[in-house]
């Protein structure tokens, strides 16, 4: 099922037109022109854009689920990491300074 989101990739101001274009399978420029025409035809485009900006959720980041709950990977064995071994230090004998 396709959901309506504000776009993260086709974003000029808030991603509303890009999200609508993705949902309707049209070019984002067409949606932007429609909003521009509505803006000049009485200001309705700005009001609708602002309402959609508030109502539409932002598109989830790639690889994440839409509700934002972390999913546990299936059938993975835990990785065991060994503690780092202490660094070896060389014992050096004190050097004598000779006066010349």
Q: What is the mean pLDDT of residues 63-72?
A: 52
100 is a domain residue: no
Task: Give me the number of domains the chain comprises.
Answer: 1
pLDDT digits (tens, 9 = 90+) for 17-62: 888 888 889 998 998 898 889 888 887 888 888 888 898 888 888 7
Cα(95)–Cα(16) distance, integer angstroms: 74
27 is a domain residue: yes
67 is a domain residue: no
31 with 45: CB under 8 angstroms? no
Q: Among 6-15, 16-25, 47-56, 89-98, where is mean pLDDT lowest?
A: 89-98
Enclosing domain of residue 33: 16-55
What angle, rounded to 10 degrees, do the helices at 28-40 and 16-24 form?
A: 120
42 is a domain residue: yes
29 with 20: CB under 8 angstroms? no
């Amino acid at each position: 099922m396709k959901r309506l989101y504000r776009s993260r990739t086709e974003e000029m101001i808030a991603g509303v037109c890009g999200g609508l274009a993705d949902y309707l399978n049209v070019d984002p420029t067409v949606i932007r022109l429609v909003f521009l025409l509505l803006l000049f035809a009485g200001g309705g485009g700005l009001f609708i854009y602002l309402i959609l900006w508030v109502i539409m959720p932002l598109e989830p980041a790639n690889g994440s689920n839409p509700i934002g709950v972390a999913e546990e990977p299936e059938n993975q064995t835990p990785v065991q990491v060994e503690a780092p071994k202490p660094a070896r230090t060389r014992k050096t004998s004190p050097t004598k300074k000779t006066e010349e």
